[in-house]
Amino acid sequence: MEPEVLDVIARLEMRDQQERSLGLVGSDRIQAVHPDSGRLLYVLALAKESKSIVEVGTSHGYSTLWLAAAAKVNGGRVVTCDINPERIAAARQNFADAGLADVIEILEGDARETLRGRSEPVDLLFIDSEKSYYETFFDAVYQRLVKGGMVVADNAVSHQDELEDYISYVENHPNLESARVPIGRGLEISVKLTA
Ligand SMILES: C[S@@+](CC[C@H](N)C(=O)[O-])C[C@H]1O[C@@H](n2cnc3c(N)ncnc32)[C@H](O)[C@@H]1O
């Protein structure tokens, strides 16, 4: 990976760790995914040669950078969604610092709305956002997900109760196979069986 990407990733990891150790509430933290989850997303996107990646929940762009680094290798791009203008501004700066701005498109606003009306196929969807909307975010993209396309949802272990409906939804979906992976805060990984 390019050193400028690793530099921004390291900076965000340090900040996230400090904010967590200070016990700040979620809204006062950058709320980055666990580093192990970031690296797994990178490896999954590389392994699947994902070109069209969608993310719900940008924050300062930590997970986006892992996904975008893989998208760049794959000749693809990431569409990332966030509702918070201040976080988007910070993410935009981080994408520029990492030299990855050209492979990232930011959709600003409520992803339940901004994701609708798009038509391009999606290879990989990553959800790390408002827990009560995971199903809605999933539904907004599902039709565009290709055969073999993957949906990764964060916090499947740390917030298992809040995500109970989502987890049950994907685990009982007839066109998905899913597995809960206890890495970081827990990832629910689902694969679409037929287009
Ligand atoms: C946990 S943070 C994302 C962290 C990011 N994935 C990372 O690893 O750095 C969740 C983000 O979801 C955003 N969010 C909450 N509700 C949203 C919605 N309805 N549409 C889009 N973004 C939303 C919040 O503003 C917040 O920045």
The pLDDT of residue 69:
98
Q: How far is the CA of 89 from the centre of ligand 1 (A)?
A: 13
pTM of the model: 0.98
- For ligand 1, atom 7, which residue shows the shortest CA distance? 32
CATH 1.10.10.10 fits 3-192, yes or no: no
Closest Cα to residue 1, out of 83, 88, 66, 78? 66
The terminus-to-terminus CA distance of the chain in angstroms comes to 32
The pLDDT of residue 144:
97
Residues in the chain, overall count: 195
The pLDDT of residue 117:
85
The pLDDT of residue 22:
97
Query: Along the chain (195 residues), what's the average pLDDT of each consecutive run of 10 residues?
Result: 97 97 95 98 98 98 98 98 98 98 98 94 98 98 98 98 98 98 98 97
Within 6 A (CB) of ligand 1 lie 31-33, 56-57, 59-60, 62-63, 81-84, 87, 110-112, 128-130, 133
Q: How far is the CA of 91 from the centre of ligand 1 (A)?
A: 11
